[in-house]
Amino acid sequence: MSEKITFKELVELIAKQSEQSQSSTNSFITELVQIIESGLKSSGSVSISGFGKFELRWMNERTGTNPQTGEEITIPGQNKVVFKPYKALREDVNAPYAGLKSRIIREETEIFEPAVPVQKSKDSSETIDDLIIEHDNPHFVKPEKPKKKTPVAAPLPNEAKLAEEVQKSGSFKWSYAAAVIIALIAFIALFFMIQRGIDTTETPTTTPQIEQVTPPVVSDEEPADVAEPEPPDTEPQTEFETTSFTVEPGQSLWTIAENQLGNPYLWPVLYNVNQDILTNPNQLPAASDLQIPEISDPENLNEFEREQVALGYFALYEWNLENNPDEARYFLWAVGVFSPELLDQPPSDVDPDDLAFARNR
Amino acid sequence: MNYKQLIDRLSEQTGNTKVKTKEILGDTVSVLSEQLSRGSGVSIPDLGTFSTKINQEKKVYNPHYEAYIMVPPKRTVEFSPSTNLKEEVKYLEQPDE
């Protein structure tokens, strides 16, 4: 974006396009600039068809402060040159974003999604701290048990119990608990990595990320496995074809959905398919391998895809119910947007108030 | 100064016909907008610099719907006038129009 072409290159391009010599193009532009300047002086505006309009705008006198001395000064009224691009130019420049439309807020909750989940790989110590706190909290440990049903499942109860005991006894220092848990996590991750090494013979490239709690997931895992813990899930007739995708710094589910699926609003489906990696939809572990489902046409989802997106939003609803109850209902509403049928037969653990909100919106 | 007046003046100054002048100006505009669409900035001496900027997605309140609206990201053109041009027009009498 910061890329720039020099004036010389510009002249060359124009000369080529208009089949003129470079020197006459050069003098043409010089004349043009002079005429724009004199036009601004004489009439206050110069319009170039298909491009835009240069205008003078009068800025009234105002007071400001000298940033160095803090002293109040009066800035006299003056003219400013503004450029207003015309529609043709605006549309050309905005072409990459042309398809996007404004949407009414289910985004009240999603709004922080692009900002918060930005991966913290630069600052891994912080990430680990965050995760430790989450694991200390029994709220987080409990719901994780049913979700992690891969080889990791066996050692996990220990960890949960331990965290609970540590909390009950109260005589332990938090830092001690954290140390124990991180050791456990590292052990589990290591165990998992070794297993994976045996399974696939392929050496994992993400070894430094072991401490990121969520080990890279075996890539040929079926999304159906993940969907299974979903209470309302009727076994899907078809399954997503998935491709593997390694998260890069600065990415969020939102941007990945935008780039890989073609529509950022489909990001919950990523969460749903990758629930074994993503314990917190707002945090993306560094360099984790996500499964990206194939979506044929992001503008026209077929029935199965719509249902999967709705299930994704439902998973988010459940997560938010525990961690962010105030905003959970917006996700439930989004479920109804993608699959009204799912709202018609709500699972038992849906709050009736939220359901009413989602239906009447 | 409207487009017609601009073409008149420009053809007078360069000695080209009006039709020819229009063509060259059209080519200039198309090259400029092509460069801007690619995300390249373009500087023109004594006039200023054209560049593009991405306005990030944002949330605004829409009083009509009484709800918050997500406004998608948008790329727009920015123009920053050259120092020379700024100084030239700075203390002009305010134009009538």
Q: Which member of A5, A17, A39 has the closest CB to residue B27?
A: A17
DSSP secondary structure string for all residues of A114-138: HHTT---GGGHHHHHHHHHHHHHSH
Q: Which residue has the higher pLDDT, B2 or A343?
A: B2
Please count the other Cβ atoms lying within 10 Å of the Cβ belonging to residue B50: 25
Note whether A314 and A336 are within 8 A (CB).
no
pLDDT-based confidence at A174, cuts 50/70/90? low
CB contact under 8 A, A39 and B92: no
pLDDT > 70? residue B44: yes
Give the count of Cβ contacts less than 8 A between chain A and B.
190
Minimum distance, in Å, between the CA of residue A254 and any CA atom of chain B:
12
Average of per-residue pLDDT across A24-49: 91
Instruction: Pick the most confident of A56-65, A128-137, A325-334.
Output: A56-65
- B65 inside 8 A of chain A by CB: yes
A chain contacts of residue B68, beta-carbon cutoff 8 Å:
104-105, 107-108
B chain contacts of residue A82, beta-carbon cutoff 8 Å:
79
Distance of CA A148 to the CA centre of its chain: 24
Average of per-residue pLDDT across A121-150: 43
pLDDT of residue A206: 42
B chain contacts of residue A2, beta-carbon cutoff 8 Å:
41
Residues 6 or more apart whose Cβ sits within 8 Å of residue B25: A32, A48, B6, B7, B10
pLDDT of residue A176: 65
Average of per-residue pLDDT across A45-51: 92
Q: Which member of A2, A17, A34 has the closest CB to residue B30?
A: A17
Residues 6 or more apart whose Cβ sits within 8 Å of residue A123: none
Picking from A31, A334, A355, A104, the residue whose alpha carbon sits closest to that of residue B71 is A104
Picking from A318, A352, A353, the residue whose alpha carbon sits closest to that of residue A335 is A318
pLDDT-based confidence at A106, cuts 50/70/90? low
Q: Which member of A14, A78, A104 has the closest CB to residue B31?
A: A14
Report strand pairing: A242-246 vs A289-293.
antiparallel
Which B positions 19-58 lie with beta carbon below 8 A of chain A? 23-37, 39-48, 50-52, 54, 57
Instruction: For residue range B26-39, list pLDDT tens digits in order.
Output: 999 999 999 999 88
A chain contacts of residue B54, beta-carbon cutoff 8 Å:
1
B chain contacts of residue A95, beta-carbon cutoff 8 Å:
37
Edge to edge, the sheet with strand A45-48 lists: A45-48, A52-59, A78-85
Quote the CA–CA distance of A225 and A203 in Å, as a whole number. Answer: 24
Please count the other Cβ atoms lying within 10 Å of the Cβ belonging to residue A329: 23
Q: Which residue has the higher pLDDT, A139 or B6?
A: B6
Q: What angle do CA A39, A44, A47 make, to 5 degrees?
A: 65
Torsion angles phi and psi, residue A323, rounded to 5: -110, -15
Note whether A160 and A145 are within 8 A (CB).
yes
pLDDT-based confidence at A125, cuts 50/70/90? very low
Average of per-residue pLDDT across A106-114: 46
pLDDT > 50? residue A59: yes
CB contact under 8 A, A37 and B79: no
Q: Which residue has the higher pLDDT, A224 or B85?
A: B85
CB contact under 8 A, B70 and A110: yes
Residues 6 or more apart whose Cβ sits within 8 Å of residue A168: none
Average of per-residue pLDDT across A103-129: 48
B chain contacts of residue A89, beta-carbon cutoff 8 Å:
33, 36, 77
What ipTM did this prediction achieve?
0.89
Tokens coding A59: 């800025």
pLDDT of residue A199: 54
B chain contacts of residue A17, beta-carbon cutoff 8 Å:
27, 30-31
Give the global pTM. Answer: 0.44
DSSP secondary structure string for all residues of A142-200: HHHHHH--SGGGTTHHHHHHHHHHHHHH--S-HHHHHHHHHHHHHHHHHHHHHHHHHHH
- B66 inside 8 A of chain A by CB: no
For residue A196, give Cα distances in angstroms to A149, A150, A152, A203, B71. 15, 12, 12, 9, 44
Picking from A31, A28, A118, A105, the residue whose alpha carbon sits closest to that of residue A265 is A105
State chain A's mean pLDDT as an integer: 71
Tokens coding A19: 């089949």
The tally of CA atoms less than 13 A away on the side-chain side of residue A269 is 29
State chain B's mean pLDDT as an integer: 88
